[in-house]
Amino acid sequence: MRIKYRFWFETDRGYVLGPGTYTLLKEIEKTGSLRKAAERLNMSYRHAWGLIKEMEENLGKSVIVSERGGKGGGKSELTPEGKRILQEFENYKMLFDEIVMRPYRKPWIAVDAVLIHNDEILLIKRGKEPFKGKYALPGGFVDYGETTEHAVIREVKEETGLDVAIKDLVGVYSDPARDPRGHTISAAYLVEVKGGKLKSGDDAAEARWFPLNSLPPLAFDHDCIIKDALSLLR
């Protein structure tokens, strides 16, 4: 036998967000298009649009904003409320996994990016706990079905607006005490900029360059990761 569970968000008006609509929002976030998201989920555009409208009506707020036409077709992106409810769902999912699946606990998998240019390193100020307000390397959790290589490129884009390519693996960091939320294993990559424009996003309150000889106090074990990255570059 296997333990299974399911949870969802609802208001007095009705259903708002569950596993299916969560996946739809994540695909919109990744592809920048409701139509592409529906195609990747083998769902009709009409059905996908109906799910979004039902969600917005029951929530009383918009979760996506769409732009029609253009050379490449229409675009869609999550509103701040859409990003907030998506993050809240992920937080509860992590919590329920910890409670329900306790006898079968496994470490979470994360990624961190080390981006060094002209003796400066790119850091983000964390907008959420743990370590809210402290600086850290860009990074985050790996989505189910995603490689760590894809995850680190995605996370850098979401948090800093920059497009990057992987240069090398710095190391794998697995100390069970490195993250106060629980046992988290992180694959840290050395990356380089390929495009984009620097701007903070996702759960990053700020993204900025720091001189390597004048770093602020860092979250997690990121000082160790940076030290290892500098050794690799030498």
Non-local (6+) Cβ contacts of 217 within 8 A are 134, 135
Contacts (Cβ under 8 Å, ≥6 apart) of 184 = 107, 108, 109, 110, 178
Place of tokens 């961190």: 112
β-pairing, 75-78 with 162-173?
unpaired
User: Active site includes 120?
Assistant: no
The secondary element (H helix, E strand) that includes residue 61 is none
**Options 39, 120, 158, 206, the catalytic residue:** 206
Which residues are annotated as catalytic?
A: 206
